[in-house]
Structure formats: C-alpha cells, structure tokens
Amino acid sequence: MKSYKLFTLITFTLFCLLSFGQAKKPTLMVVPSDVWCNQNGYMLNFDNQGSTIRIPDYKRAFQENAEVLQVISQINGMMAERGFPLKNMESAIKTMESNAVEDALRSSKDSGASVNESPIDAIKKAAKADIIIQLTWTVNKTGPKKSINFNLQGLDAYTDKQVATATGTGAPSFSAETPVLLSEAVISHMDNFTLSLQDHFDDMFENGREIIVRIQTWDDWDGDLETEFGGEDELGYVIEDWLADNTVKGRFSTTDITETMALFEQVRIPLYNDKGRAIDARRYVRELSKYLKNAPFNIPNKLVMKGLGRATIILGSK
C-alpha cells in the first residue's frame, strides 16, 4: 500500500512538471524606450502639417551605440534563461526596412497620400511579438564609482497596455561595465517581472487577446448602421451579433455606436487559428469584412489597420 502511494505521488509530480514545462510562453522583444532614445539624441523629426513629430531612430541607435546592443543582449539572455522565446530587434529592423521600400512605392488611389506608420508599429508588425519590453537605463557617476537606474515596462503589443513593470537602482561599482551593472540591478526583480508577463499571457490564452474594432461609413454611402437588411435587425445589431458569435466566450464591449460609426473595445480574439498561426486584428476583422460584403448585406468596405491590435472597417466603398 505504501509503495502504491509513493508511485502515485511520483506520477503526479512528473505530470505537473511536464505540464508546467509545456506551458506556452509569450514571445517578447526588448527595445530601447522613447525616453532613452530622446535623452541620447536618437530621434527623427518630421513635419506633420506644421507640427513637428519626434519618433525614435532605432536603426541609428543600433549602428552607432554599442551599449544598446550589449544592454539589450543582457536582458534578452535573462529572459531566455527563463524560457521566454525572443524576437530580435535588429532582425525586425531589417524586415521593417524591406517593408518601408514597398510602402514608399505605395500611395492612395484617390489622394496620392503615402502610408503613415510609427517605427514601433512597423517593428511590431515585422516581429509579431506578444509583448514589447521597453527598457530605460541611466548610468550614475560619483567619482570613480558607477551605478545604474533602470525601468523595465512590459507592454501588450496589441493594446499598448502596461502588463508588467520593474524599476530599481543597482549597487555602485568601481569597475563594472554598464551591461554587468544592469544585470546586477535587474536580477532581483526579474522573477516577479516575468511572473506578471506570464499571468497576462495565461489570461490571454484562456480569455482571448484584446483588440479594438471600429466601424465607420463613407459620407457618400446611401446606408448607415440603422439600415435594416432583408427584414433582419439593424446593421449595428447584426455586427454586434457577429462579434458575439466570433469572440472568445462572446466577450466584447460596445463603447459607442451611432448611425454612422461604432466602437468596440476589449474584443477578445483567439491567440492562434486552427493551424497554430498567431491571429492579429487584421486577420480577425477580415472575416467580418467578408461577411458584410456577402449577401444579404452586399456592402463594399475598406479594411484599415493601425498596429497589430486596431482595425477599422469603412462601409460604402473600397
């Protein structure tokens, strides 16, 4: 009897270890924060109809500042030790540059306007990471001694919501290099930080990933969201019913709706399709776009993306 209990305990322990080991973890990408890029002069200025817009110049930061590569590699290593799959920012930048060449050749059919996209949105699309980790660090010098302040922010790549944070200051040192100082400062915070990331991912796995869906109408369209189709409900209710049928556990919030627009937030979509591929807002909302294009609605529409987690359908024409 005693041997049987021991065998059961060992079997149960092995099952738990295997289950934990197979738990899926979020993919991550570590990037220097906007604050760090601004403090160190790695920003680009753009004129937007008279207003100056400043955006991070990640490519120049990687090419000119060896410390960036060392510090991010240090954090990447710490995350890899804890089993988190990583996306490499340098590779994402190269993919982004390739995409930028294509975008430079693309323009609007009607106005000739060019594609507008922030660098971080472009990197998110290129890397398809679940969580972006923004890293800010400052080296303090007191005589020959150096210490480091750091701020790690884990951001949901789809919604930009902060899901984990860690801040602190490392012990002063006379000789250690910046990556070593950073590693020593971060190490005691890393387990709680990664635990928060995993909790957020586990919630997404069970309840779906959050995206935002917006419905708009072209001003020359002869219909609106109060139009009834084939004796069915008004179009606004038809769209809500589609969301209820196609979200995880039917979860979404109708934040605002009028006859010309609707805004749905906290729309929970599956993380992966039946082929195991990650689903972003574009792939998900494309199905709603096709649904509205088909009978009995026959509504031509245009699908517009912003980042990975926001999609807009404009009803009335392409």
Weakest-pLDDT range from 58-67, 173-182, 197-206: 173-182
Is residue 43 pLDDT above 50, yes or no? yes
For residue 128, report the phi and psi dihedrals to the nearest 5 degrees.
50, 45
Beta pairing class for 262-269 and 253-257: antiparallel
pLDDT tens figures, 61-113:
988 998 888 899 889 999 999 999 888 887 777 777 666 655 554 544 554 44
Output the pLDDT for position 278: 78
Reading phi first (left if > 0) and then psi (alpha if -120 to 50, else beta), residue 208 is in left
pLDDT score of 210 more than 50: yes
**254-298, pLDDT tens digit by residue?**
999 999 999 999 999 998 888 877 788 888 999 999 999 998 899
Answer whether residue 21 shows pLDDT above 50: no
Sign of CA dihedral 241, 278, 211, 261: negative
Minimal CA–CA distance to 196: which of 161, 158, 170? 161
Alpha carbon distance 120, 278 (integer Å): 19
CA torsion, points 235, 239, 245, 246, in degrees to nearest 10?
Answer: 150
Task: Give the model's pLDDT for residue 52.
Answer: 80
Say what the pLDDT of residue 63 is. Answer: 87
pLDDT of residue 90: 75
pLDDT at 25: 82
pLDDT score at 174: 81
Place of tokens 């289950």: 19
For residue 217, is pLDDT > 80?
A: yes
Report CA 131 to chain centroid distance, whole Å.
6
pLDDT tens digits along 26-36: 889 999 999 99
SS3 147: strand
- Lowest-pLDDT choice from 8-12, 17-21, 37-41, 185-189: 17-21
